[in-house]
Amino acid sequence: MNFEKMISEEEINNKILELSSQINKYYNDEELCVICVLKGAAIFTCDLIKKLKMPVILDYLVASSYEDKTYSSGIVKISKDIDININGKNVLVIDDIIDTGYTLDKIVEYLKEKAPKSIKTCTLFDKSERRKIKNIEVDFKGIKIPNEFIFGYGLDYCEKYRNLPFISKLIK
Ligand code: IMP
Ligand code: MG
């Protein structure tokens, strides 16, 4: 496998600071339910919520899409639901990356049925060139990346390399 470093730890940390201050400003002191989409968003969520100033309730959801190694098929299944009650609450869904948009779209539609007060989204990376869901707009959006397969900082390549503190890209 060939890969090269693409985004440094420093660049990631700077973006997290920027996103956290946008989120702090938007919600002020209002309580926030953060829903982390496992597994990819685990590391990003941990680093981000440490910078949030409002009372945060954290929960996890697992969404799996039938996919090959690097591409999503569009069929998304919620394979582990949240445990908390989000009825009447402010909800922020956090994912690692938005690519086609199928995953986040499915999660938002699913969580809306639980009647939260508000629902917003945040992703660390945005591969907008490959978007299939045209009307999806991430509310707190991180680093724009070209159409490359990336891994590290929570994102995997065949379930490996989530532990890298920086982002690498796959060279085929
Ligand atoms: P979407 O449904 O196509 O928007 O893809 C979202 C999910 O696909 C993310 O939550 C990731 O788990 C995975 N994904 C998309 N692009 C990449 C990538 O470049 N590297 C690692 N995982 C990715
Ligand atoms: Mg994911």
Q: What is the DSSP letter of 14?
A: H
Nearest CA to ligand 1 atom 9: 97
Nearest ligand to the CA of 103 is 1
Nearest ligand to the CA of 157 is 1
Angle between helix 42-49 and 9-27 (nearest 10): 60
In tens, the pLDDT along 37-94 reads: 999 999 999 999 999 999 999 999 999 876 655 566 678 999 999 999 999 999 999 9
Say what the alpha-carbon torsion angle 45, 46, 47, 50 is, to the nearest 10 degrees.
Answer: 110
Atom of ligand 1 nearest to the CA of 40: 12
Ligand 1 surroundings by CB, under 6 angstroms: 40, 65, 72, 95-103, 127, 149-151, 155
CB–CB of 4/148 below 8 Å? no
CB–CB of 91/116 below 8 Å? yes
Can you list the positions of beta strands (E) in the chain? Answer: 2-7, 32-38, 56-67, 72-80, 90-98, 118-126, 140-144, 150-151, 167-171
| Catalytic residue flag (residue 99) | yes
Indicate whether 169 pLDDT > 80: yes
SS3 state at 91 = strand
Atom of ligand 1 nearest to the CA of 41: 10
In tens, the pLDDT along 3-52 reads: 999 999 999 999 999 999 999 999 999 999 999 999 999 999 999 999 99
